[in-house]
Amino acid sequence: MACTAGTTNLGIIDDMQGIGETCAKRSCGSTWTAHTGAALAAPSAGRFSTALSAQTASLWTLTNGCSRPLTAAHSFMPTPQRRAKRTASTVITSRCFTTAPGIPATTHTTYLAVRGLPFWFSLAVHGTKAYADAVEITLDCAREAATMIEAHPNLEMVTEQRLSICVFRRVGWAPEDYKQWSDALLERGDGLVTPTKHEGETVLRFCIVNPRTNREDIQLILDTL
């Protein structure tokens, strides 16, 4: 069963729990694709680990076009014992470079794991808690950014805030206005916020990936809108 666990543009997540339960009932595996899959490490995103525990076998492909060296492919092989003990903080250290039953060892996505070596070395040095804390900070920052956007007189949220993503519009702007603003923001060194499209409309998109980003940084950007 093919599923998504966080689309690149909007952070949309399929019904992971329902899909996991269906796979378990039918004794089939699932293939999940996520932009980075970083939320796997966040305790507040517990539905990820809950859904994983319900599945017989799953192959995850985590893809990030900006940070290919951090990309990895993961094959999870749940057992009753491991299901009972799995938590959000342990999911990130689940088996890598292994193949779940029903998923061929030669599947091309498993070779992505080699590209993930720098990430796994970093994880070994800093520990899972450091990564979990960092991801939680970005999720909290995105939620706070959404609240600030909703309170801004010139801005409107376009979709529900999900994961570390906020998609919003600047009322009254045309596509060229978004581009000029984005270019000027980057030239000043204030941030990298690029326009995107949603249902044919040009809008703006925050994607918080740096745990050092804070409320003041968001406010600095919003003040220019």
pLDDT tens by residue, 35-44:
555 566 566 6
The answer to whether the Cα torsion of 167, 173, 175, 180 is positive or negative is negative
Q: What is the CA radius of gyration of the chain?
A: 19
Which CATH number applies to 132-222?
3.90.1150.170
In three-state secondary structure terms, 28 is: coil
In three-state secondary structure terms, 60 is: strand
In three-state secondary structure terms, 169 is: strand
Determine what percent of the chain is predicted with pLDDT higher than 90.
35
Check: CB of residue 41 under 8 Å from CB of residue 131: yes
Lowest mean pLDDT: which of 6-15, 96-105, 205-214? 96-105
Lowest mean pLDDT: which of 5-19, 74-88, 119-133? 74-88
pLDDT of residue 131: 84
Measure the CA–CA gap between 29 and 7, rounded to whole angstroms: 20
pLDDT of residue 149: 98
Check: CB of residue 12 under 8 Å from CB of residue 6: yes
pLDDT of residue 122: 82
In the chain, what are the domain boundaries?
2-126, 132-222
Determine what percent of the chain is predicted with pLDDT higher than 70.
57
pLDDT per residue as tens digits for the range 44-83: 665 555 555 554 445 555 544 434 444 444 444 444 444 4
pLDDT of residue 87: 40
- Model-level pTM? 0.65
Helix axes 215-222, 128-151, angle to 10 degrees: 30
pLDDT of residue 43: 65
Instruction: For the sheet with 155-157, list strands across it.
Output: 155-157, 165-170, 201-207, 195-198
Measure the CA–CA gap between 56 and 28, rounded to whole angstroms: 7
pLDDT per residue as tens digits for the range 76-110: 444 444 444 444 334 444 433 344 445 455 555 55
Q: Which two tokens stand for residue 81?
A: 């014992």
Measure the CA–CA gap between 151 and 7, rounded to whole angstroms: 26
Average pLDDT over the chain, rounded to an integer: 73
**What mean pLDDT do residues 141-161 have?**
96
Measure the CA–CA gap between 204 and 201, rounded to whole angstroms: 10
16: left (phi over 0), alpha (psi -120 to 50) or beta: alpha
pLDDT of residue 123: 80
Strand pairing category for 58-62 and 30-34 = parallel
In three-state secondary structure terms, 195 is: strand
**What mean pLDDT do residues 199-208 have?**
93
